Amino acid sequence: MSKSFLEVVEEALKNVDEVDVFQLKKSFDDNEDFLLIDTRETEEWNLSRIPNATHISKGLIEKVLDVSVPDRNKKIVLYCQSGFRSVLACESIKRLGYNDVASLKGGITEWQNSGFDLEK
C-alpha cells in the first residue's frame, strides 16, 4: 500500500520530537549548546536562513553528519521550509544513533512569520 508524503511525515512524527520557534529562540537567548541544521536545498539556503544555522541538505545528512558531528549525544535541531522534510531527516538521523534531535515545527516559514530575523 502506497502512502502520500504527508502520511509518511505523520508516521515519522510518532518517533520525532518537535520544538516550536519560541523554544528555539529561548535556546538561542539562553546560549544553549546545540547545533541548528538547515536541511533545505542549497538554492533555498542561499536565499535566507535562520542565524547560526549550518547547512546540510536532507539528501546528504546521513552521509555527512557522522563525520561532521561524531558526538551522538549532541543536541541537534533540524529545520526546513515548513517542517516536513526536517521531520523525515530527524527520523533518519535517529536511526544513525543520534539521541537528542528535534525538528522545528513550521520550519523557517514559522520562524519568519513570528517576526524573528533571518540571515541573507
Its pTM stands at 0.92
CA-CA distances (angstroms) from residue 79 to 3, 8, 34, 87, 116? Answer: 23, 17, 13, 8, 15
The pLDDT assigned to 101 comes to: 97
What is the Cα–Cα distance from 38 to 78, expressed in whole angstroms? 6
What is the pLDDT tens value at each position of the chain, 120 positions in all? 799 988 988 888 899 999 999 999 999 999 999 999 999 999 999 999 999 999 999 999 999 998 999 999 999 999 999 999 999 999 999 999 999 999 999 999 999 999 999 999
In the chain, what are the domains?
A: 5-113 (3.40.250.10)
Q: Which residues pair with residue 37 across a beta bridge? A: 54, 78
What is the Cα–Cα distance from 11 to 101, expressed in whole angstroms? 17
